[in-house]
Amino acid sequence: MVLIHTEMYGSRKGTFFCSSEHNGEAVKGIRVSTNGLGIILNIQLQLGDFWDAVQGIPGGTSQELILGPNEYITEIHGTFLLNLKYLIVCTSRPRCASFGKRVGWEFSAFSKEEGEVLKGICGVRGVFGIRGISFKWAAGEGSPLFSNASWYGNKDGQEYELMSDSSAL
């Protein structure tokens, strides 16, 4: 299995981390903790039935998105300043959940090939939280060919709006 690492969004300065690759399973849930300033302190992934180690620094208030059967994470959008501030996680269902506060430089990440889904994350943590993040994409068993979830940002010169499902939290 070949995992594709997308570019690092945010800073590369700090302590590097990567989620495990638990039997090559797709991400089935994500838990994100933020502080009162909206800084993302840590992220934890559910890989199959297994919750991976918490990546980042301890503390904060947690929110999570648990995926249903045959649902996969197909794209992630967010913002960063000195730290990761905001994430929007979109799935094949389609639905999206947001974490943190939307402020700073925007980024969008999705697989380079149809049928690929999120398999893990890598990043950099600093004293005040997660400073940079990248995403590991690979083909998923029974994964959708492509997500038709809406998103915000700029893709191929076109502006898009977020389709949010706050009930997913």
* DSSP per-residue string spanning 97-130: EEEE---SEEEEEE-SSTTEEEEEEEEEEETTEE
Q: What is the chain's length?
A: 169
Q: What pLDDT, on a 0 to 100 scale, did the predictor assign at position 48?
A: 87
**Of 164, 8, 10, the residue nearest 85 (C-alpha):** 10
What values do phi and psi take at 11, rounded to 5?
A: -80, 150
Distance in angstroms (rounded) separating the CA atoms of residues 164 and 157: 22
10-residue averages of pLDDT along the chain (169 residues): 63 93 88 96 94 96 96 96 96 96 95 91 96 92 40 33 33
**Which pLDDT belongs to residue 23?**
79
> Residues 40, 61: contact at Cβ < 8 Å?
no
Taking alpha carbons only, the member of 106, 89, 113, 120 closest to residue 154 is 106
Q: What is the pTM of this model?
A: 0.79
> In the prediction, which pLDDT does 6 show?
54
Between CA 15 and CA 128 the distance in angstroms is: 12
Query: Exposed (0-12), middle (13-18) or buried (19+): which is 22, by Cβ within 10 Å?
Result: middle
Region 4-168: CATH code: 2.100.10.30
104: closest CA among 90, 86, 77?
86
Per-residue confidence (pLDDT) for residue 112, from 0 to 100: 85
Contact 59, 39 (CB under 8 A): no
Domain boundaries, the chain: 4-168
Alpha carbon distance 58, 146 (integer Å):
35
Q: Which residues pair with 126 in a beta bridge?
A: 129
- Cα separation, 53 vs 134, in Å, equals 17
